[in-house]
Amino acid sequence: MGRRRQDLQGPHRPGVHGHDRTVEVARRQRRRVHRARHAGDRRRGRVQRDPEEPHLSVGARTALRPHRTHPRRQGAGTGDHARAVARSLRSSVQDEGTRRLTRRVESRFVTARVSTGLPRLDAMLGGGLLPGTLTVIYGATGIGKTHLGLTFADHGRAADGARGVILDMNGRGDSQQHDEYARRLFHWDLTPWSHSVTPMSDPYPPPAQMDAFYSNAYTWVGRTRDFQVPTPDGGWEFDWNWKATYNRALYTIRPFLYFHFAAGSRRVVVDGVEPMDSPADSIQFFLFDELYRKVIHRDAETLGMEICLPVWQHREFIDAHLYEHTTITTLLLVTTEETRLEDLLARKVATGDIGATANTIVVLGSERVGNRLARMLCVVKHRASAMSDEIVELRVGERGMEIV
């Protein structure tokens, strides 16, 4: 019996008796098993926790775990060094990302402005108009809209290196005297554009036409329904004869805008829009919307390829005269039925009114001041910018327009 006990308990060790000896034998066996497992785990890339090691949380074990490196990357350094390098890379990437985001935010909110040519109006607009946007000027007839439009277009010579273009949509009544105003106020001979480009014809305008910044190719006024015919299904469509005339006008309007944009013009003034009870029924609003979306803000390369045919023959010119259409600022001058400033400020937005989606709205109205009739100006809407809420007086004299 004693022999069997000695075999089970192993060799006698001084100081270890009875139950203590059994515990010591079991402990040694566990250690041998653990060392074997530990060695195998290391060969397989895994590390097991020592049974006698105090229990640690997952986060603590992760922090204390030796860094695993690929056998081919052992020369990269120790685990601490690799973690330090990783932290440095993450920090540099985050810093660069922050810098790029900051630059994008600054470029978005610190935007160059387009001057109207009137310093006081620029101050009321927080520095000027936003590039690439639409500004609608509402006002009664004779209030000074044409003067304001010509001032804006002529100022492009100093601000952009090229004057703006003027599209007159007036289709009846007397001339709006654009040429006389331009000559008297700005010494500008405003000659009309007449160059037309039909498909597969020579697209390039004569040199004299590049000094022609005025066009009156759109002469239609009234309701859209006046130019439509009923369809068999009960709807309406544009009359084919009118569509043919409209397409011929596009052969003039599109080259007029494209070649001036390619030469550096970045301002468009559209004048002669008549008042209409329902803007959605106005043929002039329809024509302007088509022009604004499909010509003014059309990609320069696409517009050039549509005008200069065949494309392979004019590819060098198209590529050499690309421009960014988002820098083209448009001024739309709309005549209203209301004449007083108070009535204009209380004017409701009707269906189809372009001012509802325009970035900026400026109203010009008259008010009685003593024994005279004063012209007043107010900025009603100016998205993405600070603006003044004051009402100022506008005077038109021999030297042009002046804001008091």
Beta strands 391-397 and 372-382 are: antiparallel
- Identify the weakest region by mean pLDDT among 133-137, 154-158, 366-370: 366-370
Q: Residue 323 pLDDT more than 60? A: yes
pLDDT digits (tens, 9 = 90+) for 229-274: 999 999 999 999 999 999 999 999 999 999 999 999 999 999 999 9
Handedness of CA 216, 222, 224, 228 (dihedral sign): negative
Better-predicted residue by pLDDT, 392 or 68:
392
User: In Å, what is the CA distance from 228 to each residue of 93, 225, 231, 242, 250?
Assistant: 61, 5, 9, 8, 19
**Cβ neighbour number for residue 58 with a 10 Å cutoff:** 7
Q: Residue 149 pLDDT more than 90? A: yes
Integer Cα distance of 150 and 180 in angstroms: 11
CB 321 within 8 A of CB 348: no
Better-predicted residue by pLDDT, 354 or 99:
354
pLDDT value, residue 76: 43
Which helix H or strand E contains 301, and what residues bound it? Answer: helix 300-307
Following CA atoms 255, 258, 260, 263 in sequence, which dihedral angle do they give, to the nearest 10 degrees? -130
Task: Tell me phi and psi for residue 278, to 5 degrees.
Answer: -120, 105
Judged by DSSP in three states, 11 sits in coil
Residue whose C-alpha is closest to residue 337's, from 136, 135, 137, 141 = 141
Tell whether omega for the bond before 310 is within 30 degrees of 0, i.e. cis: yes
DSSP string, 230-259: E-TTS-EEE-HHHHHHHHHHHHHHHHHHHH
pLDDT value, residue 372: 93
**Cβ neighbour number for residue 389 with a 10 Å cutoff:** 8
Q: How does the average pLDDT of the chain come out, rounded?
A: 83
Integer Cα distance of 120 and 177 in angstroms: 26
CB 318 within 8 A of CB 311: yes
Handedness of CA 298, 349, 120, 107 (dihedral sign): negative
Which helix H or strand E contains 300, and what residues bound it? Answer: helix 300-307
Beta strands 134-139 and 329-335 are: parallel
Average pLDDT over residues 44-58: 48
Integer Cα distance of 375 and 122 in angstroms: 18
CB 140 within 8 A of CB 364: yes
pTM of structure: 0.73
Integer Cα distance of 365 and 50 in angstroms: 88
Q: Which bin fits 334, alpha (ψ -120 to 50), beta or left (φ > 0)? A: beta
Q: Residue 176 pLDDT more than 70? A: yes
Query: Residue type at 105?
Result: V
Question: Rg of the Cα trace of the chain?
Answer: 39
Query: Residue type at 13?
Result: R
**Cβ neighbour number for residue 60 with a 10 Å cutoff:** 11
Integer Cα distance of 239 and 90 in angstroms: 65
Beta strands 360-369 and 134-139 are: parallel
Integer Cα distance of 402 and 197 in angstroms: 40
158-178 burial string, b = 16+ CB within 10 Å, else e?
Answer: ebbebbbbbbbbbeeeeebeb
- Identify the weakest region by mean pLDDT among 80-89, 110-119, 267-276: 80-89
Structure confidence at residue 357 as a pLDDT band (50, 70, 90): very high
pLDDT digits (tens, 9 = 90+) for 191-224: 999 999 999 999 999 999 999 999 999 999 999 9
Say what percent of the chain tops pLDDT 70.
74
Task: Name the residue ranges covered by the structural domains of the chain.
Answer: 2-66, 78-110, 113-403
Q: In CATH, what is the architecture of 113-403?
A: 3-Layer(aba) Sandwich (3.40)
Task: Tell me phi and psi for residue 139, to 5 degrees.
Answer: -175, 160
